[in-house]
Amino acid sequence: MRSPFKFSLSSMLKQHRRWEKTLTKAVKATRKALVSASSTKPPAPKPTAKPRSATRLEEIKAFGSNPGHLRMFRYVPPDLPKKSPLVVVLHGCHQSAEAYDKGSGWSTLARERGFAVVYAEQKRSNNPNLCFNWFRPSNVTRDRGEVMSIRQMVAKMATGHAIDRKRVFVTGLSAGGAMASAMLAAYPDVFRGGGIIAGLPYGAARDVHRALAAMKSAPERAGQEWGDLVRAASPVKRDFPTVSIWHGTKDHTVSVNNADALLLQWLDVHGLESDAYAQSEVDGHLHRVWKDAGGRIAVELYLIDGMGHGTPLKPRPVSRAKADTPGPYMLDAGISSSMHLATAWGLKKPALLSALKQAAG
């Protein structure tokens, strides 16, 4: 009987074995190709660590005997030239150096305009509210306590970065503003100018009880009495620093009459009459200036209309580098105290300074 299939059974078995060999070779070739490809494939990237919050400030652990037990932070722009200015910044209560820098934008200005910044930061072991102890004689007397620690920070920056010792400035908010007053009084030979924001005059209090009372209402003293406190704070009797006073008219933490007392104090120190001022409006706020015999602005006052307790800011557009960022005690008032202080102190952008020199020539 003939087979119904076209091919014989033996032929079909031979064909099946040939297909098995061909399939086995194909599988081996595919495996070899896969192994070769995997050996040349770049390794998978390792997971990156979660980015930390950005800050320009660097802590400096050793800067002297540090009798006030403060912390020191600095910002030095890349390639800072020798003989550059230095700004000392003092935060307010319940703040840190980093928080104040984020709000005030001093490190941004330093990078843009070519100067160094140093921050003193309070410790809770010194004051539970992180306030500088501006009311304790042991901390505001020349070469003692917290003022001495801040003075040592200036010396550290001066030697480490060849800072121009004739262009050192200080500014602060609230308790930091009161401590800025103390630095100007205790070290008029160190500072060329200062900015006191929502602060108090030097010698307004000598203990916590009187400090709280002074914050509600500055002690009533004649201009000469206020001035004598500054003159007694240091052996230096001439070339006192310029002073810029900033205060909100709605400040219910530090009464605005402290700005009046600060004016009496520094006008007397500079020998200026209280009514001999020029008045203008800057960004919608009252601005008064008192000039010395040489025509230099010795004392100025900014009264920020409607502002409460804090540092006045004028935030930049999103497209520009961040500076003047609102937050606790950092208030959008349409005027930047940091920007105006830097300009008043001659800390101008290099391009602008060059253009001014060319225009003058």
Question: Which are the catalytic amino acids?
Answer: 174
Q: 358 CB contacts (<8 Å, ≥6 apart)?
A: none
Tokens encoding 1 = 């009987």
**Alpha helix (H) ranges present in 244-312?**
257-270
Tokens encoding 273 = 């009459």
Report how far residue 349's alpha carbon sits from residue 356's, in angstroms, rounded to the nearest whole number.
11
Radius of gyration of the chain (CA): 33
Q: 95 CB contacts (<8 Å, ≥6 apart)?
A: 130, 173, 176, 328, 329
Report how far residue 210's alpha carbon sits from residue 204's, in angstroms, rounded to the nearest whole number.
8
CA angle 250–251–256, rounded 5-degree value:
95
Cα-flanking dihedrals φ and ψ of residue 258, to 5°?
-70, -30
